[in-house]
Amino acid sequence: MSVTTTDSDSDSDTDTDCETVDAVVIGGGAAGLNGALMLARSRRSVTVIDSGTPRNAPAEGVHGLLGLEGVSPAELLRRGREEVRRYGGRVVTGEVTAALPVGPVGPVAPAAPAAEGDPRFAVTLADGGVLRARRLLVATGARDVLPDVPGLARHWGHGVVHCPYCHGWEVHDEPIGILAVGPASVHHALLFRQLTDDLVYFTRETDLDQDTRARFAARGIRVVDTPTAAIEAAEAAEGGGIAGVRLADGRFVPRRVLAVMTTLWVRADGLGGLNLPMRDLPGGMGRHFATGPAGTTDVRGVWVAGNAADLTAQVGASAAVGALAGAHINADLAGADTDAALAGWEQSARAA
């Protein structure tokens, strides 16, 4: 069976049954590609599985990334894939349907450990292709879930933003509204207040104590307690985008930008067989894989990097942890290679 891709920027007709590679990277974003780059530069055989659906696809540019400020997400990933291939790594387009530890002969039960010593994994893709690997780097990222407000989703990534560091400069001095989702939105408002003097906090029936209201008043943040009914778009003649917020009592509050904290869920489709531990964010704001230093996990041979482990990490932070995870995977493989060489050397010595 082979993985056949149609993306012109992906390797195609990849034979997946005849070889066990050193590492398979699940996820072709900044974390996955930087981890793969470190492995490929260490002369490790590595294959990246890229679903082609990056979290930051709606954004016009990547910000806060030294030397690459403002580069488009698509261009950044194109360069990353090219760099991985330059050192012999492979990038294929595909969706993972299963990832399992495997024993010396075949797949073992999902709850069972990988083969003792040097672990092995089988990764199955949607087209039926199977990749076999000694180590896995999970860099699947996360998905943003917006609150259910009519008209909100259509502006995601443009007039609707979530991160003051990712988008803040681009919306500075605009009339901004904060759509509250819970206590964490208070901190969100204070960060966006740094960017504009015209800030309105829509409580959306969330609690806001008197001390916080006083702090908001001191900073000139207007609070609207009336429930939000819908987000209204501007006319095309006015440039499109957001016109403002329609309240439940019929009043209209003009806004050009809305900031909202999304609920963040790790992309874990097809990874249940690995039994990776999970961790919940406070207040039901999301879930991600639980990791230790450098993306280590409780599952032997599996590392996690990027938004799959840190839901709030920007591109630079995700790439950095991906690189660190790649270096740790290489070190782990070096130890396993040495153990195998020593066992073979001792066997030869006994035979002599």
Q: What pLDDT does 18 receive?
A: 58
| Tens digits of residue pLDDT in 111-143 | 344 445 789 999 999 999 999 999 999 999 999
Q: What pLDDT does 108 receive?
A: 39
Cα 52 off chain centre by: 12
Query: Is 147-260 the same fold as 2-143+263-351?
Result: yes
Which phi-psi region, left, alpha or beta, contains residue 43 (left: φ > 0; alpha: ψ -120 to 50)?
left
Q: What pLDDT does 15 receive?
A: 47
* Helix, strand or coil, per DSSP, at residue 217: helix
Q: Which residues of the chain have pLDDT under 70?
A: 1-18, 103-116, 236-239
Q: Domain residues of the chain, as ranges? A: 2-143+263-351, 147-260
Using alpha carbons, list the distances in angstroms from residue 316 to 91, 165, 324.
Answer: 21, 12, 12
d(CA 181, CA 170): 23
Partners of 176 in the β-ladder: 199, 257
| Tens digits of residue pLDDT in 231-261 | 999 986 566 799 999 999 999 999 999 999 9
Rg (alpha carbons) of the chain, rounded to whole number: 24
d(CA 47, CA 301): 16
Residue 14 token pair: 């990849």
Q: What pLDDT does 107 receive?
A: 39
Task: Give domain 147-260's CATH number out of 1.20.58.340, 3.30.470.20, 3.50.50.60, 3.90.1150.10.
Answer: 3.50.50.60
Class of the 2-143+263-351 domain? alpha beta
Q: What pLDDT does 9 receive?
A: 55
Q: What pLDDT does 324 receive?
A: 97
